[in-house]
Structure 1
C-alpha cells in the first residue's frame, strides 16, 4: 500500500481509510521519529539534499575526539544548531503527535531529534523518549567525576565568545601563523540569512561545509582531501567556552549522543521495555532507518504484532515493507501526518505556548 505524492489530499484514499481503521483500534502505538519531522520547521535533515552531513565532516564536530581536539569548533557548531532550533517553530506534525499522546495513553514516541520541538509542541515528557539527547540540556564534560546536568538552558549566547554579533575580526576566528582567518557556522548562518533576504525565493542555501569552515584563503590540502584529515581551528580557548558551575574545572558540553558514544543505559532499557509487550501500530516518521539502534525498532514492533506505517519524503527509506500489512505514505510529514491522525486528534492547529503565540 503506497502513495507517491506530497499532498495529503492526494493520498490513496483506500490506504488512508485502511490506516484510519487500524489507528482507531490501536491502544499501543510506537512512533520512531527522525530529522524529517522537523524539515518543514526549517531545520536541515542529516542525509537529505542540503542536509547537515552533505560535505560536512561530522568527525570534527560530533564526536568525543572532535571535542577533545577543538571544543571551541564543536561549540561553534552547536551554537549554530541551538540558534536555528530556537528560531524554528513546531509544525503540524509535532502538534499532531502531541495530541495523539494526550488521546492515547499507550502511545510513546522515540525521537532521534535533539531540537526540542516535540516538547515545545506539548508532547507529554513521559510519552517521549529523546534517544539522542537535547540541544538545550548541558552537562559537564566530566560525566563521571562531576556529573553536573542543566536542563532547559535557552540562553543565547552561552558565552561572549560564542556571540555571533561580536566584531568581525573576532567572529572570523583567530589569525593563525600563516595569516589565514577562519569562518565559523554562526557567521556563515548570518551571511546565508542576509542572502535570503536579498534574493528572496531565488536563494537556495546549503549547510556550511568543511571547506566553508576552513581557511578563508586557499586551503593547504587539495579540495579532494578526505575531510577526516582536515584540521580546523576555532581559535577559542577553554576560558571562552561554557564553564561547569559545579566542579569549576571543566567545560560544559551539549547533552547529545555523539558518534562513538552509546545511548544512555536508562533510555535503552526504557525503549526495549516497550517491545516486551504487544504493539498494535508503529509509525516511522522522517527517518532514513539506517542509524542504530533506532533502525531496528520497526522490525521489533513487527515481531510484537504491529502494522507499520512509513511517512517519509523518500520512498526508498521504507524498509522490510509487507505489502498486505504495512503502508508507505510519501510526502512531507507536516502535511501527511495530521491527515493520517485526524480520526483521533481532529484538526491540528499551530500554537507554541512556550513563546506566547496564539493558535492559528
Structure 2
C-alpha cells in the first residue's frame, strides 16, 4: 500500500484529487465488485481456476444440469474453491471498503464474489449484497419440500470423501479419462425438459440412469463387434465421473433424504429473489440520486451486475473503474468518469483515503493485510 502522502505512480494525481473531492461530497455510493478485488488475496478468477479444474467444462461444475448429472464432481469443484477461500485473507481493498461502509451510511456494496472475504473484512452486513451467494452457505436441494438453509459453515472438508489433503489428482482419481463421448449435462437436461412436456403430470425427475451415462460409442478390440465399432458399455464399466456416491456428499440434517448444495448462483439460475429485489431497489426512480459508483475488478460481462453501473449513471452517479485492464471500463465519459488502472489492493485504499485514513481500526487491519 502507498504511504500516507504518496500517490501510486500509475495514478494521475489530478484525477485522484478530482475523485477525492467527489468522494468527500458523496452521500449515496454504490460499489460493484468482481473477482479482481480478490486476486491479491491469492484467489484465481472463476475461469482462471488453476490445476486440473482449469480445463473442466464449466457446464459440468457450475450449472443445475451438471449437479443433477454428477453432484460429486460439482462438490469436488466447490470443495477446492472453499478450501482456497479459507486459506486466503481479506486484503487492503476489502478492509478499505468495509471502513467506508462504517463511515458512510449511504454506501452499499454489490459483490459478485462468493469467497466470503468481504464479510471477513468486517463489511457491515446491511450494506453488503452478495449477489451470487456465498461458498460457505449451504441449502437442501429440495428447496420447496424441505427448505433447509445453513449459513457460515466453515468445515473443511464437509465430508471425508471430499478431503483435499492428498491434492487434486488424488481426489479426481476416479474421473473417467478415456475420452469416450457421453451425453453432456446440457443434453440430458434438454431431454428431461422434453420428457416433462410430453408426460405432463406423469413425469418424475430422476438422476441420470446407467443408460444415460453409457458412452455413445465404444470401440471393441475383438469379435464381430469390432466391425460395427458400436456397442453398449457393460454395466460394470459405468460410473459417475467423480466416483462419489450420494452417501459421500453433504447430507441435509433436516429432511435426511436429500443432499446439500452450495448456496451460490449457478449459470442458468436467477439471483435469489430477496437479493434481486434489494439490489433493484437501489436504482428505483423514486430513490435519492446516486453520487458515486465504484466498479472494482470486474469485466462487467455477467448480468445483471453488468448493468448496474449504467443504472447508477442514470441516477446521476460519476463512475470510477478500478481494474488492471483499462479495456474493462465501459461507456466512460471524458471529464466525468475515471479509469484507475492498477491492483485494487493498492488503488482502492488510496482512493478512499479521505474517508478511511483517520480510522485506527482501518490502519491496523490494512497494515496486516
Q: TM-score range by the shorter chain?
A: 0.7 to 0.9
CA-CA distance at 1:268 after TM superposition: 1.0
Aligned residue number for residue 336 of structure 2: 325
- The answer to whether the 8 Å contact 2:92/2:365 transfers is no
Is the counterpart of residue 261 in structure 1 residue 272 in structure 2? no
When residues 52 and 127 of structure 1 are mapped into structure 2, their CA distance, relative to the original with a 3 A threshold, is: farther
Aligned residue number for residue 85 of structure 1: 85
Aligned residue number for residue 203 of structure 1: none
- The answer to whether the 8 Å contact 2:357/2:363 transfers is no
CA-CA distance at 1:164 after TM superposition: 2.1
CA-CA distance at 1:170 after TM superposition: 6.7
CA-CA distance at 1:47 after TM superposition: 4.9
When residues 167 and 332 of structure 1 are mapped into structure 2, their CA distance, relative to the original with a 3 A threshold, is: closer
Segments of 5+ residues of structure 2 without an aligned counterpart are 1-6, 188-212, 216-239
CA-CA distance at 1:242 after TM superposition: 0.3
Q: 1:341 aligns with which of 347, 352, 359?
A: 352
TM-score with structure 2 length normalisation? 0.77
CA-CA distance at 1:57 after TM superposition: 1.3
Paired with 2:347 and 2:167, the residues of 1 have a C-alpha distance of: 44
Range moving further from structure 2, 270-279 or 303-312 = 270-279
CA-CA distance at 1:163 after TM superposition: 1.2
- The answer to whether the 8 Å contact 1:8/1:331 transfers is no
- The answer to whether the 8 Å contact 2:66/2:185 transfers is no
Equivalent runs, 1:254-333 vs 2, <5 Å: 254-276=262-284, 277=287, 278-333=289-344
CA-CA distance at 1:168 after TM superposition: 10
- The answer to whether the 8 Å contact 1:47/1:53 transfers is no
- The answer to whether the 8 Å contact 1:312/1:332 transfers is yes
Paired with 2:118 and 2:73, the residues of 1 have a C-alpha distance of: 27
Paired with 2:23 and 2:150, the residues of 1 have a C-alpha distance of: 38
Aligned residue number for residue 118 of structure 1: 118
CA-CA distance at 1:10 after TM superposition: 3.3
CA-CA distance at 1:165 after TM superposition: 3.1
Paired with 1:146 and 1:234, the residues of 2 have a C-alpha distance of: 26
Paired with 1:90 and 1:274, the residues of 2 have a C-alpha distance of: 26
- The answer to whether the 8 Å contact 1:32/1:109 transfers is yes
Segments of 5+ residues of structure 1 without an aligned counterpart are 1-6, 175-181, 183-213, 353-357
The structure with the largest alpha-carbon Rg is 2
Which SS does the other structure have where 2:339 is aligned?
Answer: strand
- The answer to whether the 8 Å contact 1:279/1:306 transfers is yes
Range moving further from structure 2, 135-144 or 157-166 = 157-166
Which SS does the other structure have where 2:263 is aligned?
Answer: strand
Paired with 1:48 and 1:328, the residues of 2 have a C-alpha distance of: 24
CA-CA distance at 1:227 after TM superposition: 11
- The answer to whether the 8 Å contact 1:92/1:350 transfers is no
User: What's the C-alpha RMSD, in Å, of the aligned pairs?
Assistant: 2.9
Paired with 1:85 and 1:303, the residues of 2 have a C-alpha distance of: 35
- The answer to whether the 8 Å contact 2:33/2:298 transfers is yes
CA-CA distance at 1:301 after TM superposition: 0.3
- The answer to whether the 8 Å contact 1:62/1:258 transfers is yes
Paired with 1:262 and 1:80, the residues of 2 have a C-alpha distance of: 24
When residues 332 and 48 of structure 1 are mapped into structure 2, their CA distance, relative to the original with a 3 A threshold, is: farther
What is the count of residue pairs matched by the alignment? 307
TM-score with structure 1 length normalisation? 0.79
- The answer to whether the 8 Å contact 2:66/2:186 transfers is no
